[in-house]
Amino acid sequence: MPLPPVTRSLSAKLLVLTVLFVMLAEVLIYTPSVARFRLTYLEERLAAAHLAALSVEATPDLRVAMELQEKLLALVGAHIVDLVQPDTRVYMLARSMPPEVDATFDLRDATAMTLIIDAFDALAAGGRRVIKVIGHSPKDPAYRVELVMDERPMVLAMVDFSGRILALSIVISFITAGLVFLALTGLLVRPMRRLTASMVAFRRAPDTTPPIEPSRRNDEIGIAERELADMQDTVRTALRQRERLAALGTAVAKINHDLRAILSTAALLSERLGESADPEARRVTPRLLASIDRAVELCGQTLAYTRDGVLALERTEVDLQALVEEAGAAVLAGLRPDGSRVEARWDNRVPEGLTVRADAAQLARALVNLGRNAVQAGADAVTVTAERRGDAVVVTVADDGPGLPPRARDNLFQPFAGSARAGGIGLGLAIAREVLRAHGGDLRLVESTAEGTRFALEIPG
C-alpha cells in the first residue's frame, strides 16, 4: 500500500488543524475585545461630552449660543448632551432638531455578557441607529452624562478594529501553524512515515527487507522503533523456522508412510513368533507387538498432526454418555508401555440424555487421548463427568495417577515437548486441545497433584 500524497498526509492535516484551532482561539479572544473596544469608545464620548457641557457653566447666563453648541456637539459627535451634577443641576447641549432615539444603553449596570451582546447587536445593525448612552463621567464619577449620538461612526471604528484583529489573527495563525508544522514534522510525522514505510516494505518482503534502524530517542517514537525492530527480527526468525518445519513435516510424512509399511510387516512376522515352540520367543512376543503398536500409533499421530491443519467438523447431536462409553472401551482395549493389557476402571458418570452438538469422531478422539495418557501414566481409574453451564457443556476427565511431572506442566499442550512419560512425544494433549478449539471451546488443566490429574473440556452448545 503506497504512502498517501502530501495533501492527504498527516502533515497537511496537522497544518490545517493548527490554523483552525488558532483561529478559534482568536475568535474567543476577539469576542470580549470588541466589547471592550465599544465600551472604551463610548466612555471617550462621555468624557468629551462632560468637557463640552462644562462650557455652559462658563457663560454668564448659563446659555451657550447655538453656533457654539453646534461646534461643541460636532466635536463630541453627539446630537444631545446632558450633564447631571450631584446637586441635580443639569447642563444641556442640543441641536435645534435632534433625531429620535432608536435604542438606549445604560453603562452603569452593564455586565460583561451585556456588553458583548450589545457590541454584536451594533455590528448587526450596521450603524443605522441613533442611540442614547447613559453613564458616569470618566472625568468625575459623581457626574452622570447622557448623550444622544449616531451609532455609525462607532460601528465603522468597530469594523476597522475587527479587520485589524482578523489580519493579526491570520498572521498569528500561519506563523503558529508553520512553527507547529515544522516541529511536529520533525518530531512525529517523519518518524511515523519512516515506521510506516518500514512496515509496508516488511509486509511485502519479510525475508529480504532489513529491519528498521532504531533511533536513540527515549520517547514513544523511540520505543515504537525498537519494538518494531524486535518484532521484525522475531517474525523473520519465526518465518524461517516455519519454512524449516514445513519442510520437516513433508519429510516426516513421507518417512511415516514408509515406516508404517515396515512396521506392519514387522507386526505380521512378530505374530508368527507367538506360534514358535521356543518358550522365550512366546514370552517376549507380546512386548514386541506392544512396541510395534506404539510405534505405529506414534507414526499415525505424527502424520495426522502434520497433515490435518484446520479440522473439518461434521457436527451432529451427540449423546455424550454413549460417546464417553465408546471412548472408554477404546482406552481399556489398549496396552500399557510395558506391553501388558490395561487393567483400569473407566467410570462414566455423564448423566443420561445430555447431548452436545459436535463432531462425534473428533470429540471421541480427544477423550481417548486423555484417557490413554492417564492409564499409560499409571492411573488405575479414570472418572468422566459432565454438566451444562449456560450455553456450554463442561466435561471433566479425572484420574488417580501420580500427577504431571514439572516438565510436562511447563510444556503442556506443546507438541513434541509436553510428554509426561518416557518415549512419548506429547501429541495427545496437543491434538485434544486442537479438537476442542476447532469446536469453539477449549481444553484446560484444572489441577494436577500427587492424588491425580483433572482436565476440563469446554464444548459450546
Which grid coordinates belong to 148? 444622544
The predicted pLDDT at position 385 comes to 95
Answer whether residue 138 is part of any domain.
yes
Contacts 24+ apart (CB under 8 A), 192-195: 192/10, 192/221, 193/3, 193/9, 193/10, 195/221, 195/224, 195/225, 195/228
Determine the pLDDT at residue 219. Answer: 81
Q: DSSP assignment of 267-282, as one string?
A: HHHHHHHTT-S-HHHH
Higher pLDDT, 229 or 296: 229
Residue-wise pLDDT for 316-364, tens only, equals: 999 999 999 999 988 887 766 665 677 889 999 999 999 999 988 889 8
| pLDDT digit string, tens, across residues 208-219 | 778 788 888 888
Exposure string over 378-408, b if 16+ CB within 10 A, otherwise e: bbeebbbbbeeeeebbbbbbbbbbbbbeeeb
Instruction: Determine the Cα–Cα distance for residues 349 and 345; give it in Å rounded to an integer.
Output: 12
- Highest mean pLDDT of the ranges 177-181, 310-314, 334-338: 177-181
Residue 150 lies in a domain: yes
* pLDDT at site 24: 82
The reply to whether 414 falls in a domain is: yes
Q: Pick from 175, 205, 236: which residue ends a domain?
A: 175
User: pLDDT value at position 84?
Assistant: 87
Find the domain containing 422 and state its range: 314-460
Average pLDDT over residues 365-373: 89
Task: Please report whether residue 233 resides in a domain.
Answer: no
Please report whether residue 322 resides in a domain. yes
SS3 of residue 136 by DSSP: strand
DSSP E strands in 151-248: the ranges are none
> pTM surpassing 0.85?
no
Question: Mind giving me the DSSP string for 411-449?
Answer: TTT-TTT--SSTT--SHHHHHHHHHHHHTT-EEEEEEEE
Residue 429: the pLDDT is 85
Which of 158, 175, 192 is the C-terminal boundary of a domain? Answer: 175
Which cell numbers in the block locate residue 187?
518530531
Task: Average the pLDDT over each of 2-11, 117-126, 337-346 and give the range with the smallest value.
Answer: 2-11
- The more confident residue out of 294 and 361 is 361
Domain boundary among 175, 193, 226: 175
Same-domain check for residues 167 and 20: yes
Give 242 or 273, the one with higher predicted confidence. 242
Q: Report helix, strand and coil shares of the chain as percent, to nearest 5.
A: 55, 15, 25
Report if residue 419 sits inside a domain: yes
CATH of the domain at 344: 3.30.565.10
455 strand-pairing partners? 397, 445
Q: Report the mean per-residue pLDDT for the chain.
A: 80
C-alpha to C-alpha distance for 206 and 77, rounded to whole angstroms: 80
The C-alpha angle 53, 55, 59, rounded to 5 degrees, equals 130
Do the beta carbons of residue 416 and residue 305 sit within 8 Å?
no
**Residue with C-alpha cell 459436535?**
358
Between CA 404 and CA 152 the distance in angstroms is 95
Is pLDDT of 421 > 60? no
Q: Does any domain span residue 215?
A: no
Is 234 inside any structural domain? no
Question: String of b and e for 109-135 (b: at least 16 CB within 10 Å)?
Answer: ebeeeebbebbeebeeeebebbbbbbb
Edge-to-edge strands, sheet with 80-84: 90-94, 80-84, 144-150, 130-136, 103-106
| The total number of structural domains that make up the chain | 2
Between 41 and 249, where is the model more confident? Answer: 41
How confident is the model over 253-273, as a mean pLDDT? 65
Task: Flag whether pLDDT at 152 surpasses 90.
Answer: yes
At 164, which amino acid appears? R
pLDDT at 423 over 50: no
**Residue 252: is its pLDDT beyond 80?**
no
Q: How far is residue 455's CA from residue 447's CA, in Å, rounded to a whole number?
A: 7
Please give the grid coordinates belonging to residue 123. 455590528
* Contact status, residue 270 vs residue 288, Cβ threshold 8 Å: yes
Cβ proximity of 51 and 81 under 8 Å: no
- List pLDDT tens digits, range 85-100: 877 667 677 887 888 9
pLDDT of 139 above 90: no
Lowest mean pLDDT among 71-75, 200-204, 238-242, 444-448: 238-242
